[in-house]
Amino acid sequence: MSFLLISIALGVIMLVVTGIAVFHKKLIVAIIAAGVLSLFASVLYLLLAAPDVAMTEAAIGSGLSTIIFFYVLNRIRTTNGTEDQETV
Amino acid sequence: MEYVSLTIGFIVIIAGLWAIMTNRNILRMIIGFSIFDTGLHIVIVSLAYVKGGTAPILDSAVGINEAIDKIVDPVPQALVLTAIVIGLGVTALMLAYAMKLHKEKKSLDIMSFRDLKW
Amino acid sequence: MRKLFIIIILAAFGLMLYPLIQSFSGNDHLSELATYYAQKENIEKVNSVNLVTAIVVTYRGLDTLGEVTILFLTAAIIAFFLKGPSTLRTLRPNSEIFITAARVLVPIMVMFGVYIFMNGHLSPGGGFQGGAVIASAVILMFLAFPDAPFQHKFFGFMESISGLVFVGLAALGALIGSGFLDNTILPLGTFGKLLSAGAIPVIYSFVGLKVGAELSNILNEFKSVQSDK
């Protein structure tokens, strides 16, 4: 029963974070929200009795892939100059 | 609980598809792909859940004789394990392509790549 | 107009998914395949505490081999795409606290990654997780010491040796044991000890080293194209 309540609370948080990741104007906030979505998904995997998957998702989905996104974003920003800063 | 996570997974998948189809910025499309990935993994793992099951790791709580009655399905978990790592590799590959495209045109808008269209 | 069209497509997709939710009634017992894997005699045949590891390394070992191949291919293509003159950039120096913390943390993180993939058959974890933790340690090193040279040769050597040993052990299973990726080429040992489960810990350790080296290579490629102009 308590697992059900926890999973519903997690689900509400995850849907909010997904909304931020899809609709937020700033790209940095969207990338971080996608990483946070992975982190909450790893908690959900733990509730679903899958600790192996939870470890992988926590290390890869929210750590390494966010870092790679940031490297690319930094590269594109520095080559872009000052104009159209708000789209990137 | 598995119903809740299955529903969450499907909603996250549809949100990722929405992000892929409506945005014209390539980086936002790639974010949509990674969201889609996460939702798909949630769906597969929740399909593997058995009611009241424990993790497929045998110890003093779950003996070797009673494993069949107590553990959850380990096969989809093993598949998701490899799928996550492949997902990272494919995302990195897409980001490398995006950097290359941006180097050519100085733009991330997908509408500015019309070279093969006539 | 365009948005309406997309909404119609997504609604149709949602309608396709809805029967899946409706007809899903939860599992009361294991599926047939998983029942086979969880039987007592089959568990004793593999002798691994963590059943996910047993499936990843032996039963579905070919999937793992293909997965490692895909990772190698993506690393090679990324290296091909991002190849270019690596220009040194001028950065302001990192803070003393961060550098000291990184000095302390990097060896501990590498050791933790090794611990994770060596105990992959006893506890949650394994080659992929351990490799990801090692790559996290490498990225902490990149952030703390941006001017330190990346040991291309070492990581390339480790990656090729690990891949060779993985395929070699798999082929040895076909020669000595009962099939490709069979784990009974080494003694099975007692259930629940570190040196048990035959070749599983050895194979998974090399998978971990390979994944860690490949992810570090990918991260280094992305780092080396960071330039100011």
- Residue-wise pLDDT tens digits, C158-215: 888 988 888 888 888 777 777 777 777 777 777 767 777 777 888 888 888 888 888 8
CB of B101 less than 8 A from some CB of A: no
Distance separating alpha carbons of residues B50 and C35, to the nearest angstrom:
12
Q: Which residues contact C161 (CB under 8 A, 6 or more apart)?
A: none
Percent of chain C at pLDDT exceeding 70: 95
- Are C128 and A56 a contacting pair, CB within 8 Å? yes
Q: Within a domain: residue A55?
A: yes
pLDDT at C63: 85
Percent of chain C at pLDDT exceeding 90: 3
Tell me the domains of chain B and their CATH numbers.
2-112 (1.10.287.3510)
Q: Nearest-CA residue of chain C relative to B96? A: C78
Distance of CA C197 to the CA centre of its chain: 20
CB contact under 8 A, B59 and C49: yes
- Separation in Å, CA of B57 to nearest CA in chain C: 4
pLDDT over 90 at C80, yes or no: no
Please tell me which residue, C157 or C31, carries the higher pLDDT value: C157
pLDDT over 70 at A87, yes or no: no
Mean pLDDT value across residues C28-50: 78
* Chains within contact range of chain A (3+ C-beta pairs < 8 Å): B, C
CB contact under 8 A, A47 and B34: no
- Are C31 and B75 a contacting pair, CB within 8 Å? yes
What domain count does chain A have?
Answer: 1
Q: Within a domain: residue A36?
A: yes
CB contact under 8 A, A52 and C129: yes
> What is the domain extent for residue A54?
2-80
- Residue by residue, DSSP assigns chain B as -HHHHHHHHHHHHHHHHHHHHH--BHHHHHHHHHHHHHHHHHHHHHHT-BTT-B-SB-SSSS-SSSHHHHBPPHHHHHHHHHHHHHHHHHHHHHHHHHHHHHHHHS--BGGG--TT--
- Separation in Å, CA of C2 to nearest CA in chain B: 9
Q: Please report the sign of the dihedral spanned by the C-alpha atoms of residue A44, residue A49, residue A52, residue A53.
A: negative
Q: Which of A37, A73, A75 best tests the B interface by mutation, with the highest count of B CBs <10 A?
A: A37
- Residue-wise pLDDT tens digits, C98-150: 889 989 999 999 999 888 888 888 888 888 888 889 989 988 888 888 777 77
CB contact under 8 A, C37 and B21: no
* Residue C55: band (very low, low, confident or very high) from pLDDT cuts 50, 70, 90: confident
Residue ranges of C 14-53 with Cβ closer than 8 A to chain B: 14, 17, 20-21, 24, 26-31, 33-35, 37-40, 43-44, 49-52
Facing A87 at nearest CB: one of B25, B31, B99: B25
Q: Within a domain: residue A85?
A: no
Q: Which residues contact B3 (CB under 8 A, 6 or more apart)?
A: C21, C24, C26
Instruction: List chain B pLDDT tens, one digit each, 118 residues.
Output: 778 888 888 889 988 888 888 888 888 889 999 999 999 999 988 888 888 778 888 877 777 777 777 788 888 888 888 888 888 888 989 988 888 888 877 777 777 778 777 6
Q: Within a domain: residue A88?
A: no
Q: Within a domain: residue A87?
A: no
pLDDT over 50 at C229, yes or no: no
Distance separating alpha carbons of residues B27 and B19, to the nearest angstrom:
10
pLDDT at C108: 93
CB contact under 8 A, A51 and C132: no
Residue ranges of A 64-83 with Cβ closer than 8 A to chain B: 64-65, 68-69, 72-73, 75-76, 79-80
ipTM value, please give it: 0.84
CB of B13 less than 8 A from some CB of C: yes
- Separation in Å, CA of B74 to nearest CA in chain C: 5
What Cα–Cα distance (Å) separates residue A74 from each residue in B11, B106, C223? 31, 14, 10
Please tell me which residue, C227 or B60, carries the higher pLDDT value: B60
HSE at residue C36, side-chain half, CA atoms within 13 A, is 5
Average pLDDT over chain C, rounded to an integer? 82
